[in-house]
Amino acid sequence: KAGVTQTPRYLIKTRGQQVTLSCSPISGHRSVSWYQQTPGQGLQFLFEYFSETQRNKGNFPGRFSGRQFSNSRSEMNVSTLELGDSALYLCASSLAPTSGTDTQYFGPGTRLTVL
Amino acid sequence: SQQGEEDPQALSIQEGENATMNCSYKTSINNLQWYRQNSGRGLVHLILIRSNEREKHSGRLRVTLDTSKKSSSLLITASRAADTASYFCATDAKGAQKLVFGQGTRLTINP
C-alpha cells in the first residue's frame, strides 16, 4: 500500500505570495492532519480534516487554510506569506479522526522557504 | 504550548549501548505515541501505548507509561548507527482531538 505523499517536496516563495500544498493520504484513510515544523516552535498542529469537514484547528492565523476533497486528498493554502512561514509542512493520515486509538502516518513533508 | 516535554534534548552514545529518552506531559491522555524523524524528513511511527497500559515492547524498543507521574520513557536497546535520528513523543489529550508533540530528543549513535 502506498504511503502518504506530499507535493511539492520543496518550494521557494517570496513574501506576500501565496502557496498551495497537496497531500494524498494512504488509500482508505479518511482523516488528514497538517503540522508545521520549525526549529523554534517544533511540531505544531494546523488542522485536521475528516470526510471533507474541518474537525479541529490549531492556533494559526486565518492566512492558513485547508480543504479536503471527496477522495480524501487534502490541500493547505497559505496566503500573504511571511518570512516566519518558512518551515517543513507535514501531513498525516489515519483511518479515523484523531481520537487516541489510531496511528497517524506521516508524509515526507514539503519544505517551504520564504525569501 | 507543548503538551510533551522531552529529556534530554540531545543524547550521544556509542553503538551497542542502550538509549533512554523521557517524555513528560501535563494533562490526562488517551494514549501516548513515539515517533522517529530522520534529518528533515517525515515522521515514522514507532509505538503507541494506551493510557491503561504500563509497558509495551516492539523489537528493540521498550516504552513505559506512568500516568500518575504523567511521564513516559523510550528505551532503545543495542543501538545502531541507523538509530541516529530525532525522537518525539506525542500525546492525544482527552477531548483535544489532536496530537501534541514534544520538542524531541536528538539521538546520535557513534560508531
Instruction: Output the pLDDT for position A100.
Output: 53
Residue of chain B whose alpha carbon sits nearest to that of A109: B42
What amino acid occupies position B52?
N
**Rounded CA separation A23/A32 (Å):** 8
Instruction: Output the pLDDT for position B3.
Output: 59
| Grid cell locating B56 | 509495551
Residue of chain B whose alpha carbon sits nearest to that of A112: B40
Q: Give residue-wise pLDDT tens across range B42-98.
A: 899 999 999 999 999 999 999 999 999 999 999 999 999 999 999 999 988 777 778
Q: Give residue-wise pLDDT tens across range B21-32.
A: 999 998 888 889
Which single residue is written with the C-alpha cell 536497546?
B77
Instruction: Output the pLDDT for position A98.
Output: 63
* A29, A35, A43, A50, best to mutate vs chain B, most B CBs in 10 Å: A43
**Rounded CA separation A16/A12 (Å):** 12
What amino acid occupies position A84?
G
Nearest to A104 among B30, B41, B99 (CB): B99
**Rounded CA separation A42/A39 (Å):** 6
* A26, A35, A53, A104, best to mutate vs chain B, most B CBs in 10 Å: A104
Q: Does A90 touch chain B (CB under 8 A)?
A: yes
Q: Does A79 touch chain B (CB under 8 A)?
A: no
One digit per residue, the tens of pLDDT, for chain A of length 115 reads: 689 999 999 999 999 999 999 999 999 999 999 999 998 888 999 999 999 999 889 999 999 999 999 999 999 999 999 999 999 999 999 987 766 557 889 999 999 999 9
Q: Name the band, by pLDDT with cuts 50, 70 and 90, for residue B1.
A: very low
Alpha-carbon distance B111 to nearest alpha carbon in chain A (angstroms):
27
Residue of chain B whose alpha carbon sits nearest to that of A97: B97
Instruction: Output the pLDDT for position A91.
Output: 96
Radius of gyration, alpha carbons of chain A: 13
Instruction: Output the pLDDT for position A103.
Output: 83
Instruction: Output the pLDDT for position A9.
Output: 96
